[in-house]
Amino acid sequence: MERISGACPHDCPDTCAVVTGVENGRAVQFSAAGEHPVTQGWLCAKIRPYLDHIYHPDRLLHPLHRIGPKGSGEWQAISWREALAEIGTHWRDIITNYGAEAILPYSYSGTLGLVQMGVSSARLWNRLGASRLERSICGAAAESAVNATLGVRRSPSYEQVTHSRLIIIWGHNPVSTAPHFIPFLRKAQKNGCKLIVIDPRRTRTAVGADWHIAPKPGTDGALALGMAHVIVQEGLQDEAWLAEHTSGWPAYRERLDAYPPSRAAAISGLSEEEIVELARLYAGVRPGMIKIADGLQRNLNGGQAARAICALPALTGQYGLLGGGLAYSASGALSWNSAAVDHWTECPPPPARKVNMNRLGAALLGEVQDPPIQSLFVFGSNPAAIAPNAARVVAGLKREDLFTVVHDLFLTDTADYADIVLPATSQLEQTDLHKAYGHTTLAYNQQAIAPLGEAKSNWDVMRLLAREMGLANDWLQQSAEEVISEVWAATAAENPLLKDISLDELQRVGHLPYAPADEVPFADGVYPTPSGKVELYSSVLAEQGLDPLPRWIDQDDDGYAGSENGQDRFPYDDSFSLITSAAHHFVTSSLANQQGLLSREGDPFVEVHPQDAAGRNIHTGDLVIVENGRGWCELRAVVSNTVRPGVLASPKGRWSKFSGGRNVNWTTPDTLGDMAGQSTFHSNRVWLRKKEN
Ligand SMILES: Nc1nc2c(c(=O)[nH]1)N[C@H]1C(S)=C(S)[C@@H](COP(=O)(O)OP(=O)(O)OC[C@H]3O[C@@H](n4cnc5c(=O)[nH]c(N)nc54)[C@H](O)[C@@H]3O)O[C@H]1N2
Ligand SMILES: Nc1nc2c(c(=O)[nH]1)N[C@H]1C(S)=C(S)[C@@H](COP(=O)(O)OP(=O)(O)OC[C@H]3O[C@@H](n4cnc5c(=O)[nH]c(N)nc54)[C@H](O)[C@@H]3O)O[C@H]1N2
Ligand SMILES: [Mo]
Separation of 616 CA from ligand 3 center, angstroms? 34
Q: Compute the radius of gyration of the chain from its Cα atoms.
A: 25
Q: What angle do CA 305, 307, 312 make, to 5 degrees?
A: 100
The stretches in the chain having pLDDT less than 50 are 561-567
Q: Residue 518: how many CB atoms within 10 A of its CB?
A: 11
> Residue 116: CB within 6 Å of ligand 2?
yes
Label residues 519-539 b or e (16+ Cβ within 10 Å = b): ebbbeeeebebeeebbbbbbe
Q: Which amino acid is at 82?
A: E
Q: Is the CB of 297 under 6 A from ligand 2?
A: no
Ligand 2 test: best mutation among 53, 59, 120, 409, most atoms within 8 Å of CB?
Answer: 409
- Nearest-angstrom CA–CA distance, 100 and 77: 28
- Residue 362 makes CB contacts below 8 A (sequence gap 6+) with 368, 389, 392, 396, 670
Give CA separation, 81 vs 85, 103, 422, 430, in Å. Answer: 6, 21, 11, 21
Residue 474 DSSP label: G
**Which residues, at least 6 apart from 463, have a Cβ–Cβ distance to it below 8 Å?**
476, 477
Distance CA 208, CA 206 (A): 5
Q: Whose CA is nearest to atom 7 of ligand 2?
A: 581
Beta carbon of 17 within 6 Å of any ligand 2 atom: no
Torsion over CA of 411, 417, 422 and 423, rounded to 10 degrees?
A: -10
> Using CA positions, which residue lies closest to atom 11 of ligand 1?
11
Q: What is the pLDDT of residue 562?
A: 40
Q: Can you tell me the distance from the alpha carbon of 120 to that of 407, in angstroms, rounded to the nearest whole number?
A: 12
Which of the listed residues 172, 275, 586, 597 should we mutate to test ligand 1's pocket, taking the one with most ligand atoms within 8 A of CB? 172
Q: Which residue, among 283, 304, 389, has the nearest Cα to 679 in the 3D structure?
A: 389
Cβ-based burial of 34 (10 A; exposed 0-12, middle 13-18, buried ≥19): exposed
The alpha-helical segments, DSSP class H, found in 211-248 are 220-233, 239-245
Contact 146 CB / ligand 2 (< 6 Å): no
What is d(CA 6, CA 441) in angstroms, rounded to the nearest whole number? 13
Q: Which residues surround ligand 3, an ion (CB under 5 A)?
A: 138
H or E segment and range at residue 623: strand 623-627
Q: Is 458 in the pocket of ligand 2 (CB under 6 A)?
A: yes
Amino acid at 546: L
Q: Do 448 and 428 meet the contact criterion of CB atoms below 8 Å apart?
A: yes
Instruction: Say how far residue 460 (Cα) sits from the centre of its chain.
Output: 25
- Are the C-beta atoms of residues 656 and 383 closer than 8 Å to each other? no
**Interatomic CA distance for residues 592 and 580, integer angstroms:** 15
Alpha carbon 665 to its chain's center: 15
Work out which ligand 2 atom sits closest to the CA atom of 582: 7
- Give CA torsion, residues 309, 315, 317, 321, to 10 deg: -10
Element (DSSP H or E) covering residue 441: strand 441-445
* Residue 294 alpha carbon to ligand 3 centre in Å: 7
Separation of 74 CA from ligand 1 center, angstroms? Answer: 36
φ, ψ of residue 33 in degrees (nearest 5): -75, 150
- pTM summary value: 0.98
What spacing in Å lies between the alpha carbon of 589 and ligand 2's midpoint? 6
Atom of ligand 2 nearest to the CA of 588: 23
Atom of ligand 1 minimally distant from the CA of 588: 7
Ligand 1 neighbours by CB, cut-off 6 Å: 11-12, 46, 109, 138-139, 170-173, 176-177, 198-201, 203, 215, 217-218, 220, 293-296, 299, 579, 581-584, 586-588, 653, 682
